[in-house]
Amino acid sequence: MNYTQIITAAENFAKEQLGQDTTGHDWFHTDRVRNTAGLIAEMEQADVFICTLAALLHDVADEKLNPSKEAGLRKVHNWLAEHLSDEGQIRHIMLIIETMSFSGGGGEPMSTLEGQVVQDADRLDALGAIGITRVMVFSGAKGRPVYDPEIAPRDESLQKEYRDYSKGTAVNHFYEKLLKLRDLMNTPYGRKLAEERHAFMESFLEQFYKEWNQGSRKLL
Ligand code: ADP
Ligand code: NI
């Protein structure tokens, strides 16, 4: 198989695996991450093939879509072993996918440029208008309220609490995670793309509070 055929096979595998997921890991999320990763890879002179494959497969191993994280990673490894002959490429892509999932404090830093590119692309999809949409959809799916002025944001570095969706609100997730991502960008171009999306979320929140509080002086 040549590179184009492998990429097409990976697209089909990801589409089939992610299926109808409605929690923010649908095929279109993967497709956007793949496109953004390609864009950043070009600007940062990273290996586009590695970035594209890692982006396409990054959510297939997600613990939310598999019996366990290990089972998910095994599935991706098996697929790679069937489609790539270069052991180094397989190891590199596995390293990226293993390191990528952001739980609590953020885990290990990415050690390769390609990993940094794909991680930036995934984080960018949690920002801006798309990011706002994903938080709201995810929160609805988990039964979280959009906002409650009585509930303060939590420290998301407390891993146990991070996946406890019963406490907390969609708006708090901006403070717990999303507004921190800009400063965690790995690459200069990723950071540049994050700036605009970060600013958009800040103005969204400003408008949100303005509307929430309009008339709250209460005449009666
Ligand atoms: P990733 O895209 O890195 O796999 P996650 O699985 O953590 O990210 O989240 C998927 C989407 O759901 C993201 O857009 C994220 O902002 C949103 N999300 C994750 N955790 C929460 C949460 N506790 N409350 C609201 N939205 C969340
Ligand atoms: Ni993702």
Residues 6+ apart with CB under 8 A from 11: 56
pLDDT at 190 over 50: yes
Task: State the pLDDT at residue 159.
Answer: 52
Task: State the pLDDT at residue 165.
Answer: 63
* DSSP string over 134-199: HHHHHHHHHT--S--TTSPP--TT-HHHHT-TTS--HHHHHHHTGGGSGGG--SHHHHHHHHHHHH
Task: State the pLDDT at residue 105.
Answer: 45
pLDDT in tens, 76-114: 999 999 999 999 999 999 999 999 864 534 568 899 999
Residue pair 92/112 in contact (Cβ under 8 Å)? The answer is yes
Q: Is 134 in the pocket of ligand 1 (CB under 6 A)?
A: yes
Task: State the pLDDT at residue 155.
Answer: 74
Task: State the pLDDT at residue 101.
Answer: 63
> Mean of the pLDDT values across residues 68-72?
90
Task: State the pLDDT at residue 8.
Answer: 98
User: Of the residues 98, 138, 155, 158, which should be mutated to test ligand 1's pocket, given the most ligand atoms within 8 Å of the CB?
Assistant: 138
pLDDT in tens, 124-175: 999 999 999 999 999 998 999 999 999 988 876 555 555 566 678 999 999 9
Task: State the pLDDT at residue 104.
Answer: 38
How far is residue 166's CA from residue 22's CA, in Å, rounded to a whole number? 18
Q: Is 102 in the pocket of ligand 1 (CB under 6 A)?
A: yes
- Classify residue 63 by its DSSP letter: G
Selected residue with higher pLDDT from 178 and 156: 178
Q: Which residue, chain included where needed, has tokens 């830093």?
A: 109
How far is residue 140's CA from residue 142's CA, in Å, rounded to a whole number? 5
> Mean of the pLDDT values across residues 32-48?
98
Q: Is the dihedral of CA 25, 65, 87, 93 positive or negative?
A: positive
How far is residue 154's CA from residue 10's CA, in Å, rounded to a whole number? 38
How far is residue 20's CA from residue 204's CA, in Å, rounded to a whole number? 28
Selected residue with higher pLDDT from 63 and 71: 71
Q: Which atom of ligand 1 is nearest to the CA of 162?
A: 23
Task: State the pLDDT at residue 22.
Answer: 67
Task: State the pLDDT at residue 152.
Answer: 87
Domains and CATH numbers, the chain: 3-216 (1.10.3210.50)
> Mean of the pLDDT values across residues 180-206?
98
Average pLDDT, the chain: 91
Q: Which atom of ligand 1 is nearest to the CA of 170?
A: 25
> Mean of the pLDDT values across residues 200-207?
98
